[in-house]
Amino acid sequence: MTLRYSTAARNHILQHGSLKKAFQNGKILIYSGAQPASADSAPTGTLLCTITRNSGAHTAEVLATGTVTLTGGASGSVDTVTVDGINIMSEGAVAYDTSLTVTAAAVAAAINRSESSPEYTATSSGAVVTISAARGSGAAPNTFAVSATLTTITASYGNMAGGVTALNGLQFDVATAGTITKKVGEVWSGTNVATGTAGWYRFVGAVADSGVADSSETEIREDGAIATSGAQLNMSSTTLTSGATTTIDTWSRSLPSA
């Protein structure tokens, strides 16, 4: 078995940030049997244990969202979109195209191509552009004002809301010499929910994972093998007994220099 990343994880690392940002405050799910052929696939085997910080119940992160709804106009442009006063459509104005629905889709695409600090992503449905805060921001963006500058087009706005900060998720230390490790002094552990032999794991990000095949490129996942040595996740024993505690003593990932 080998280390595998989901499409969403690879996209996130390539565009939005680091492996640390992708998986910070996530959790590790330990399964019996062999890992799926792709990290985009639904899990296989029996879930034996969920690893969190100090075996605590994991509260998934919910990303804060806000909206820009295009309400009128048949010409002109959306010149900027701002969250908390920061222009998140930095690549330039989006001209009206065909309909408000088509224009909203173009605005969402422009936000996704742009860079801002902090960063945001967007989707559209009809004439509504939904803006999502970055992973790891939790409840911090709640109440941030959403606005836009417009030419001819009119719009209404929904401020950022609904963000929830993850609790008891796994955290990492500072990367050193091309390697990142679990946070020093942090206990990664969980209570076994079934008896069996650990065969593979799925590390998921802080936002709740659907647990199904991911065709929409949204689920942040890392899959790998489990053994007592030489695997992507090494454990003192692969035999897990229901009700007992499993602890992960070491975890690291390295980026090769060549």
What would the pLDDT profile of 224-248 be if each residue is shown by its tens digit?
Answer: 999 999 999 999 999 999 999 999 9
- pLDDT score recorded for residue 10: 95
- pLDDT score recorded for residue 20: 94
Residue 126 to residue 168: CA distance in whole angstroms: 37
- pLDDT score recorded for residue 48: 98
3-state SS, one letter per residue, for 98-146: CEHHHHHHHHHHHHHHCCCCCCEEEEEECCEEEEEECCCCCCCCCCCCE
- pLDDT score recorded for residue 199: 96
Which residues of the chain, if any, have pLDDT below 50? Answer: none
* 3-state class (DSSP) for residue 258: coil
- pLDDT score recorded for residue 1: 60
CB atoms within 10 A of CB 186: 13
- pLDDT score recorded for residue 16: 85
State pTM to two decimals. 0.93
Summarize the chain as % helix, strand, coil (round to 5).
Answer: 10, 40, 45
Question: Could you give phi then psi for residue 188, rounded to 5 degrees?
Answer: -100, 110
- pLDDT score recorded for residue 96: 97
- pLDDT score recorded for residue 250: 92
Residue 40 to residue 218: CA distance in whole angstroms: 9
